[in-house]
Amino acid sequence: MSWSVREFSCDTLGTGYFCPNAYLANLAGVDVSDRIGTRFGWNAALSLGWQVVGIRPGSRDTDTVQGYHAAGTWDFRPGITGEIYGGWTNLALASGSGFASTEFGARIRFRLGAPGGTNR
């Protein structure tokens, strides 16, 4: 279980949802993860919350915000892990379906000082 707060503001006022005067979202989340064997791991997170967007000073619009994130990991050796991930989150209010952030990617992580790693 998690709780997070996102805050965003913009220096250039009056440009609408892409640069609001104020943006604040409170999100509750559920995060589930597990390992299968000694090398493979996975993680799934769901979030749901409430956001307040002020497009102009003194204005306030509210809406729900939700998202997901999923990842799979593979430990090549101690200290070196590969990860493939994907996620989606709606970001702010707008007419119609609004706009969202979608991300997919891959990365390799190196942990310095890991047992059997290169930092001895």
> Which of 34-43, 48-57, 101-110 bottoms out in mean pLDDT, i.e. has the lowest?
48-57
Q: What is the pTM of this model?
A: 0.68
Residue 119 pLDDT greater than 50, yes or no: no
pLDDT confidence band for 78 (50 / 70 / 90): confident
Average pLDDT value for the chain: 80
Indicate the domain borders of the chain: 2-110
What pLDDT is recorded for position 53? Answer: 73
pLDDT in tens, 12-24: 655 555 566 667 7
Q: Residue 65 pLDDT more than 90?
A: no
Burial of 51 (0-12, 13-18, 19+ CB in 10 A): buried
Contacts of the segment 99-104: beta carbons below 8 A, 24+ positions apart = 99/17
Higher model confidence: residue 116 or residue 46?
46
Confidence (pLDDT) at 4: 81
